[in-house]
Amino acid sequence: MIDVHCHLQQKDYDNDRDEVINDLKKNLKAVITSCAHPKNFDLTMKLIEKYKGFVFGAFSIHPIYVKEFPSEEREKYFNLLRENRDKIVAIGETGLDYYWIKEDEWKEEQRKLFVEMINLSKELNKPLVIHARESYEDCIYILEKEGAEKVDLHMFGGRKLLDRVIKNGWYISMNAILLRSKNHKKIIRDTPLDRIMLETDSPWLNPNGGRNTPLTIKVVAEKIAEIKKIEFEEVWATCGKNAVKFFNLPINL
């Protein structure tokens, strides 16, 4: 009943954003929209204010944008997040992306940015939402090295590292990739239900093609129930409770 990872700021919603959100309010308890680029900060804040108690915000500099933000620009943004800490429910999505960033020097800069984001999450006492693409080993290593405790691995695909994720007490949020990826199905199969949350990564990853919306979490929950051979209602309720607990959301289920 809670989409913990979508992107309502994206231009895909520019023509009907309010209509989409009002429709979501009829079907879901809350959504967490991820502001992955500082240019979307103002719009994200407006959505949080306009739909207070329903739209919540996670904020970061996505690793694929590392080339745009030298250290002094990053610090300016971090200060903005510090000033608005009471309106933020998480730092993310942050992490490492070696698919789009190939150069060694920029991979190293990504790692520096990642550590900075982890430190900011500790300072603000906010959980982390992690993006890892072709970088699972490095992501897990850095999170462990830096002592990150409250971690959600968004759309996690590093099955060989799952034991470490579970041992560390971290969470996994999953979207409709689950409908087509054997690897992600096995990850969900082997992850305890009390460590799983629902997401869509909207506007992307619509299982039927076209623009996605947070309503797709129902399809994801149905697939999790099928994989785990349990009732849909158990998945729906437990994943919602997990989200409220993890993000410390001020809502009643």
String of b and e for 86-98 (b: at least 16 CB within 10 Å)?
eebbbbbbbbbbb
Confidence of residue 67 (pLDDT cuts 50, 70, 90): very high
Q: What is the mean pLDDT of residues 71-81?
A: 95
Whether the CB-CB separation of 196 and 7 falls below 8 Å is answered with no
- Statement: residue 163 has pLDDT above 90: yes
- The C-alpha atoms of residue 208 and residue 130 are separated, in whole angstroms, by 26
- Statement: residue 156 has pLDDT above 90: yes
- Statement: residue 78 has pLDDT above 90: yes
Q: What six digits make up the tokens of 183?
A: 């690897």
Query: Residue 131 CB: number of other CB atoms within 10 A?
Result: 25
Instruction: Output the CA–CA distances (angstroms, integers) from residue 160 to 39, 55, 96, 122, 187, in the order listed.
Output: 36, 34, 17, 27, 9
Domain 2-247 in CATH 2.60.120.10? The answer is: no
Confidence of residue 200 (pLDDT cuts 50, 70, 90): very high
- For residue 133, the model assigns a pLDDT of 97
Q: For residue 1, what are the contacts with CB-CB under 8 A and spacing of at least 6?
A: 28, 29, 30, 217, 236, 237, 239, 240, 253
Whether the CB-CB separation of 144 and 194 falls below 8 Å is answered with no
Confidence of residue 253 (pLDDT cuts 50, 70, 90): confident
Surface-to-core class of residue 77, CB atoms within 10 Å of its CB (0-12 exposed, 13-18 middle, 19+ buried) = middle
- Statement: residue 160 has pLDDT above 90: yes
Q: What is the mean pLDDT of residues 41-59?
A: 98
Q: What six digits make up the tokens of 216?
A: 């797709």
Give the SS3 label for residue 74.
helix
- For residue 244, the model assigns a pLDDT of 98
Q: Please count the residues of the chain.
A: 253
Give the pTM: 0.97
Query: Residue 136 CB: number of other CB atoms within 10 A?
Result: 23
Each residue's pLDDT tens digit, 101-154: 999 999 999 999 999 999 999 999 999 999 999 999 999 999 999 999 999 999
Instruction: Please give the radius of gyration of the chain, using alpha carbons only, rounded to the nearest integer.
Output: 17
Confidence of residue 29 (pLDDT cuts 50, 70, 90): very high
How is the chain split among helix, strand and coil, in percent rounded to 5?
A: 55, 15, 30
The rounded mean pLDDT for the chain is 98
The pair phi, psi for residue 83, each rounded to 5°, is -65, -25
Half-sphere exposure of 194 (CA within 13 A, CB side): 2
Whether the CB-CB separation of 55 and 251 falls below 8 Å is answered with no
Question: So where are the chain's domains?
Answer: 2-247
